[in-house]
Amino acid sequence: MRKPAARIRLADAAFVLFDERGYERTTVDDIAERAGVGRTTFFRHYRSKEAVIFPDHDRLLELIRDRLATSSDSTALVAVSDAVRLVLLHYIDEGDLARRRYALTSKVPALRDREIASVARYQRLFREFIADWMGDPTEAASLRAELMAAAVVAAHNHVLRRWLRGESADPVAEVDEAMREVLALFPAPQSPKGRDDEGTTLVAFRTSQDLDALLPSLRRLIEDSR
């Protein structure tokens, strides 16, 4: 092991200084000096001042991509859930670091925007994957892929932020539950081939009536819509 120490020292120095003086009032020179390296070295390790806070978004993107890539038609939704869980676990592994980053992104608009932009890249990945999986090139399917990806990412962020705020004891269970809820929102996987315009379509509703009391009108509806 040669000396990847500089990279770590820079990140440490950055977080400490951001805590002490705030983000804007800390210059790259300050960080480099505190880490005991030159300014040039900072930019060798991190593309920008913001990047020192989000070191491995690219790696996370690859993680998602890889997990989604290894899935068949029938396991697509499982892959989505897995990928989401993977991302969550990544943050949990970071532990306190993730929480310090959250404290920063909550206060500094520039960092918040950067975080949001990163999330949008995850969402894009999911959207493309889901659209591809649905195979259906129609406008309706395209919209549904968009909605699904948005919901998946929103659910993840919701649980993640709860954990970051210390409001969740078992975030993995929560995200699994949230994903079930999200996927339940959307019509089932729909048989890949032989789309059935025949058959039976039900709409969702909730009623206090008994099922048997509903059956006649149900049959009438189905009959009418054929």
Partner DNA sequence: TTATAGACGGTACTCAGTACCGCTCGGTGG
Partner DNA sequence: CCACCGAGCGGTACTGAGTACCGTCTATAA
Question: Angle at the Cα of 148 (from 144 to 153), degrees rounded to 5?
Answer: 150
Among candidate residues 25, 23, 4, 33, the one with its CA nearest the CA of residue 100: 23
Q: List own/partner pairs for 51-58 with CB under 8 A and 24 or more apart.
A: 52/10, 52/11, 52/14, 53/14, 53/15, 53/18, 53/101, 53/104, 53/105, 53/111, 53/114, 54/101, 54/114, 54/115, 54/118, 55/11, 57/118, 57/121
Tokens of 129: 């994957």
Task: Give the interface segment with a copy of itself, choosing from 3-11, 22-30, 52-60, 214-222 (CB under 8 A).
Answer: 214-222
Which residues 73-92 are close enough to bind a copy of itself by CB under 8 A?
Answer: none
Nearest residue (CB) to DNA, 44 versus 180: 44
Among the residue ranges 22-30, 57-65, 168-176, 191-199, the one whose residues contact DNA (CB under 7 A): 22-30
By beta-carbon proximity to a copy of itself, the closer residue of 33 and 128 is: 128
Determine the residue type at 95. Answer: G
- Residue 19: which of a copy of itself, DNA, none does it interact with, CB under 5 to 8 A by kind? none
Show contacts with DNA in window 40-59 (CB under 7 A): 40-41, 43-45, 47-50
Q: How many CB atoms lie within 10 A of CB 48?
A: 12
How far apart CA 4 and CA 19 sit, in angstroms, is 24
CB of 21 to DNA, least distance (A): 10
CB of 179 to a copy of itself, least distance (A): 11
Select the binding partner of residue 44 from a copy of itself, DNA, none (C-beta < 5 to 8 A, by kind).
DNA
| Lookup: tokens for 48 | 């920008």
Residue 6 near DNA by CB under 7 A? yes
Contacts with a copy of itself by CB under 8 A: the residue count is: 49
Query: Could you list the residues that contact a copy of itself (CB under 8 A)?
Result: 112-114, 116-117, 120, 139, 142-143, 146-147, 149-151, 153-155, 157-158, 162, 178, 181-182, 184-188, 190-191, 196, 198-211, 214, 218-219, 222
Query: Could you list the residues that contact DNA (CB under 7 A)?
Result: 2-3, 6, 26-29, 36-41, 43-45, 47-50
